[in-house]
Each structure stands twice: as structure tokens, then as C-alpha cells.
Structure 1
Amino acid sequence: MTNTSALVIPDKIPFLSYPSPRSSNKSLKHVLIFFIPGNPGLISYYAPFLTALHQLLQEREKSPDCNYAYDIYGRNLIGFADEDHSPPFGSLTSPDHGATTTTRVILPFSLEQQIALLRSDLERLNRDCRVYDDVILIGHSVGSYIALELFHRHHVSSCTVPIKAAILLFPTVSHIARSPSGQKLNLLATYSWLDNYAHAVAKGFVSLLPASVLSFVVHKVMKFPPHAAEATLDFLRSKDGIWQALHMGKDEMRTITEEKWQKDFWEEITSTDTEGEGEREEEGKGKGNKFYFYFAEKDHWVADACRDEFIAARKQNPRARTEIVIGTEKIPHAFCIHHSETVAEKVKVWIDEITGQL
């Protein structure tokens, strides 16, 4: 018996889209802000954040000196909505005697598959919706790692998507297994039976709770606001969501280890002047590559030592186009639960800087 993946059903993937009210104005520069969620990858967790960011950018567009139109798009990671794939995880496929005689079991999607599928989606948006002048990636948690990988693959390939910058929120970009929560998740691997069946145990426990009890726990005990409570209940009640989250989480432990990006990846893009010589682009004018990192002062998914080592490496490269902030506001890793507006305000300032609006 071998493993295989389910078929992705693209038009069933939940998404959020916030087009600019000036999208039809051809005289403006059009920017796509492409948001990538963390794990669990439900875009509905981020509705207040993306709504707040959209409203802030709309206000910016009203300024007479703003020549940009900002579209925002974000979608679920694959596997977190039962309708976005078929057949369900754990299904057995019958042997295809024309190609294989082996029965295969359907497993959740890997981190690499998420990256590849998002890359295809980004290329589709830039092709089918409109050809954008600039694309800004925003990633949260493992979404930050995915954003960096998308940027890196653009950096080393002939991809036509004009990725200009990336904003990484509470990023898990190196040695995630050394974080407090990563160490706990890694404990599953020490017990083979639990490693193999943790998703079934978790789903079985949730299934035992009456719907009213589960709703009470999420709304009253966890004190989640309505958007987060509904997203959590959708996640817990889904057939495959818990398995997808655990499967991908374990894959993150194996994949997000030593930093793999080369030194020049962090550096600015140089332009060519009329005489053909490379020229350093001016800082802070919306030119060249920019990376913005927002780390929490304490983050249960980020080891302090690994974070500090990552920051030190950026500081050692004088050509690195990175801005790194360690927040002191005590905003938690899951900022999208209670702190959407605060983070949206920070992100809006960075978008202004990226596009030269400051």
C-alpha cells in the first residue's frame, strides 16, 4: 500500500477578496496584496484583519497624491475545508490496472504541496484577474515561511509575477521544532502509535462533545469573538481539518530547520542605468526588495535563541533590505483573534513605505 494525495477542487477553496474601489482606473499602479494564513489555514480567522487593512488602504487611496490601487486576496490552505478536496483523507483508492496494481491511501497535503499550490494560484491571479504592477506577500506564522519560499522561487526562476516585498507576521522561519509548542508537537514522534493516530484520537474526542458544549467552550471558556469562534467550530467539526493541521504541523517540524536562503536573497535588486552599470537603488522610495518581520517578544511557536540568531544574521549583511521589529505590545502569536486592527495599522505603514507613499 502506498500514499497519495486527494484531488484539489480549486473553485471550492474558501477565500476572501477585497478589490480596490479604483480597480478599473488604468492610470494607477495596481498592487496585489496576497495573504497567506498560518496553521490551521482557515482564512476566516483573518476576516477582521483583512477588512481593517482594506479600510485603511481605502483611506490612503483617497489622498490626492496616491497613485496606487490596492487589491487584497487571501484563501484557505488546502485541506482545511472538506469541500476543497476529494476523496476524504484516509480513503483507499482501488488499483488502476492500466497504471498501478497497488492500493493507495489518501493523506493530507504537505507543506511543499501548499507552497506549490499557492504559487500556481498567485500566477493565476496575475494572469486571469489582471497583470499587477506589484505584488506584496503577507504571511502569518508558517504562512511567513511559505511567503519566503514563494519569494525565493520567484527570485531564482523566470516567474513573471512582480513580487516586490514580503511582510512576515509572527514568522516561524527557522528551527520551529525548538519552540515551546514545537517541542510538544515533536513528542508525538516518540510514540509511534500516537504519531500515527493522534488525528483520530483528537477528532474522536471532539466528536464526543455535544454541539452545544463545544460551542460553549469556544465562545465562553476560550472567550473567542464571533469570527474566531465560528472559524474554530468549522475547523473542529470538519471531517479532515484536524488531520490536515497535525499532518502539516509535523511536516513543518521536519522542514523548517536550518535557514536555507542564500545571502543575496535578502539584498536589494539593483537597477541598470542608461550606460549599463548596476546602480544601488535609493532606500525608502518603494524600490527594490523589502522584507518586514514582526516578531512577538514572547512567542510559543518561536524559540527566542533561534529568533535572535536569525536577526543577527540579517544585521551582519549591510546590503540586506530587511526591517525587523520585536513587538513590545504583548500581541500574541494568534493576533487574528483579538488584535486584528492593531496589526493592520502596522502593516499599512509598511505598505506605504514599500510603495513609496511615506
Structure 2
Amino acid sequence: MSPTTVIKQEAIPYLEYPSPNRNNPSRKQCLIFFITGNPGLAAYYTPFLTHLRQLLSELESTPTSNHAYHIYCRNLLGFSDADHSPPFGTPLPNQQSTTTLPFTLEDQIQSITTTLHSLSSPTPFHSIILIGHSVGAYIATEIFHRTHCTHLSPISTLPLTSGILLFPTLTHIALSPSGRKLNLIRTTPLLNTWTHILAKSIINLLPTPLLQTILSKFLSQPPHAASATLSFLQSQDGIWQAIHMGKDEMATITEEKWSDELWQLSRSSNSPSQSSKFYFYFAKKDHWVADEVRDAFIERRKTDARARTKAVICEEDIPHAFCIHHSETVAEKVKVWIQEITG
């Protein structure tokens, strides 16, 4: 991250769905923290999180429930022009041909860590469940790694109990069909330099009504997704942020770097012993996850008898971008896993 780029943490757009039992001292307060994919706009997940809130409220109303579930989701850095200054591409003083750049994957991990820390202060949660979609699953896993395994994170005292990883891109993303295309851009000097400029230039030529028609009629995006996409495309820095971070994902998400310790239930965890620590939900066919990479990852988890992981390959043909048309179906599955985690 450039030292001249200021993160305005308080200006990052977010969605929050508090529990109706948030002030009940007899309830165990559980934070459900959702981490988006790329492009990192929380607005894409409004139907998913709204339906999950409804399901968890129903769960809280049952006679045997003793939890209060709070849901929180925020944008990744750089997808709102208000969350940083100056704009990307601003020349640095006294540095010839050097400009500010978009945020990296490491920047996103550190920023999410900061938000988790602030949400848990001054009143800590009894437990925290991280849910990550796509690269958000990688971010969630890395936060677990730094908290439970290396103890280098400033949130190491937080009660991270379980991770629910939806359509996760955890290893060798560049081997996936879409990853190969993006990696070609990254490794081709001309494309690496000009792709985001060309893409933004084309978008700027299209009037808003035409963009709205393309999104809703030709791409069949429902209103919530079309609105989020339009906001993303018309922002000053969003396209550059998405491409820059995507290229960084190609370089960073390669060999699995986590030890078996991560996948085993931590001694300090508050999870019930019968629950899994990580839930993986893979697509049957995913343009961001190569089949052989997915299958090898699942097989490695099976070889560790102490690993508390559960992997499911979707048989319903739900696509990687589930938040466009399949929010309710995935929310139903996540609710079941949250119920298992919290007992």
C-alpha cells in the first residue's frame, strides 16, 4: 500500500443486521462476519444476508436457542471512492512517474482484521463465525491462520470459532478457466499496463440508461445486482481496484501454505466438539476453481484424521456468483451450518 494513500475506515460501505436479542444478557452473542468476493461490494449480498437474517431470527425464537446472531458485511477496500484518498493514479510528490496504486490482497486482510477488532470492542462477542465467498474465503482462512497458528495478529484474542467458505478460491486460482485469462493479462506487459484503462474508457463512453439496459436485459441481473454493478462500473477507482486485486490473487493464491494445525480444532476454540471448524461449499463446475485443484484440496483434508472439516460439492448447479440469483438457496445451507457450529 502506498504510504500516501489514506484509508477512511469509517467511510467503507457496510451492511449490518443485528439480532433482535442483542441486548439479552442471557444469550451468547455470536458475530456472523461475511467477507465478499471480488468485486468487493457488500450490496451484491443484500438478498443473501436479508434471508439469512430471517432464518437466524426464526432460529433464535425457538425454545432451545440461547444465541443471538449478529450479521455484518462490508465492502473490500477500494470499491468505494469515498473509502480512500487520493484517487488511484495520483502522482506522488517528488517521485517521477510514480503514482498511488489500488489495494492488494494483503491490504484487504489487514483492513478486515481492523474491522473485526473494532466490532469486538469494547463489548466482546462470545463467538465469531467468518463466512467468505470466493477470495473472501481466502481472506477468512488467512485471518484464522494468523490468529490461531502464528499469533501475530492484533485480533488473536478474538473468539474465532468456525469458517464457512463458499465457492472458495484457496489454492492455484491461476489454473482455473477465468484465472488463466486474468493471469495472461498479468504476465503480458502491454495488457498488464493498459487493461484497466481501456475497460474504464469504454464504460465512460456508455450512457447510464444503456448500461442499465445491458445489465438488466442482456445480463439478466436482478435489481440489487444491477444497481451494485452500475455503482462499481461508474466509480472512479472500482474497475482498477478489481483488476489490480485480481492480478495479485493470481500471484498470491498458489500452493497451499497452511499447516495441518489450521484445519484442526484449536484448543482455545469455543466451538462444540461435535462441530466442524471449517465448512467448504464447492460448485460442481466453477470457472474460478479448477476441478483437479478442488479435488486435491478435499483429498488432503481427508488424510488428516484430526481435521475438523466438512466439504460439500454442490449438486444443484449453483454458479460461483451465487449472490446474483441463488441467495436464498445458499442462505438455507449456511443457516444449517451455523446451527451445527453453535449447537
TM-score, length of structure 1 as denominator length: 0.91
Q: 1:190 to 1:102 in 2, by over 3 A?
A: closer
| Structure 1 CA distance for aligned equivalents of residues 172 and 126 of structure 2 | 34
Deviations along 1:164-212, one digit per CA (max 9) or x if unpaired, are 0000000000000000000011111343121111100000011111211
Q: CA deviation at 1:116?
A: 0.6
In the other structure, the counterpart of 1:331 is 318
| Structure 2 CA distance for aligned equivalents of residues 49 and 338 of structure 1 | 10
Does the 8 Å CA contact 1:144/1:173 hold for their aligned counterparts? Answer: yes
In the other structure, the counterpart of 2:36 is 37
Does the 8 Å CA contact 2:263/2:308 hold for their aligned counterparts? Answer: yes
In the other structure, the counterpart of 2:220 is 223
Find 1:312's aligned residue among 288, 296, 299.
Answer: 299
Does the 8 Å CA contact 1:171/1:294 hold for their aligned counterparts? Answer: yes
Shift >4 Å, 4+ stretches: 2-5, 101-104
| Structure 1 segment 187-266 matched on structure 2, within 5 A | 187-266=184-263
SS at match of 1:132: coil
Note if 1:72 corresponds to 2:77.
no
Tell me the amino acid that sits aligned with residue 334 of structure 1: A
Does the 8 Å CA contact 1:5/1:107 hold for their aligned counterparts? Answer: no
In the other structure, the counterpart of 1:105 is 99
In the other structure, the counterpart of 2:88 is 89
SS at match of 1:331: coil
In the other structure, the counterpart of 1:98 is none
Tell me the amino acid that sits aligned with residue 21 of structure 2: R
| Structure 1 CA distance for aligned equivalents of residues 264 and 2 of structure 2 | 40
Q: CA deviation at 1:233?
A: 0.3
| Structure 1 CA distance for aligned equivalents of residues 305 and 317 of structure 2 | 30
Note if 1:120 corresponds to 2:114.
yes
| Structure 1 CA distance for aligned equivalents of residues 146 and 115 of structure 2 | 14
| Structure 1 CA distance for aligned equivalents of residues 222 and 230 of structure 2 | 12
Identity %: 56
Does the 8 Å CA contact 2:278/2:308 hold for their aligned counterparts? Answer: yes
SS at match of 1:198: helix
| Structure 2 CA distance for aligned equivalents of residues 292 and 316 of structure 1 | 16
Does the 8 Å CA contact 2:272/2:342 hold for their aligned counterparts? Answer: no
Note if 1:50 corresponds to 2:34.
no
Deviations along 1:294-327, one digit per CA (max 9) or x if unpaired, are 0000000000001010000000001000000000
Q: CA deviation at 1:94?
A: 1.7
In the other structure, the counterpart of 1:295 is 282
Note if 1:154 corresponds to 2:147.
yes
Q: 1:103 to 1:207 in 2, by over 3 A?
A: closer
Q: 1:313 to 1:61 in 2, by over 3 A?
A: same
SS at match of 2:72: strand
SS at match of 2:120: helix
SS at match of 1:107: coil
SS at match of 2:99: strand
| Structure 2 CA distance for aligned equivalents of residues 181 and 331 of structure 1 | 17
Q: 1:271 to 1:112 in 2, by over 3 A?
A: closer
| Structure 2 CA distance for aligned equivalents of residues 121 and 69 of structure 1 | 20
| Structure 1 CA distance for aligned equivalents of residues 268 and 128 of structure 2 | 18
Deviations along 1:230-266, one digit per CA (max 9) or x if unpaired, are 0000000001000000000000000000000001111
Does the 8 Å CA contact 1:5/1:109 hold for their aligned counterparts? Answer: no
Note if 1:135 corresponds to 2:128.
yes
Does the 8 Å CA contact 1:180/1:300 hold for their aligned counterparts? Answer: yes
Tell me the amino acid that sits aligned with residue 327 of structure 1: C
Does the 8 Å CA contact 1:31/1:136 hold for their aligned counterparts? Answer: yes
SS at match of 1:74: strand
| Structure 1 CA distance for aligned equivalents of residues 320 and 267 of structure 2 | 35
| Structure 2 CA distance for aligned equivalents of residues 193 and 89 of structure 1 | 19
| Structure 2 CA distance for aligned equivalents of residues 228 and 349 of structure 1 | 25
In the other structure, the counterpart of 2:58 is 59
Q: 1:5 to 1:267 in 2, by over 3 A?
A: farther
| Structure 2 CA distance for aligned equivalents of residues 71 and 5 of structure 1 | 35
How many residue pairs are counted as aligned between the two chains? Answer: 338
Q: CA deviation at 1:12?
A: 1.0
Does the 8 Å CA contact 2:272/2:341 hold for their aligned counterparts? Answer: no
Tell me the amino acid that sits aligned with residue 16 of structure 2: S
List gaps (5 residues or longer) in structure 1: 96-100, 273-280
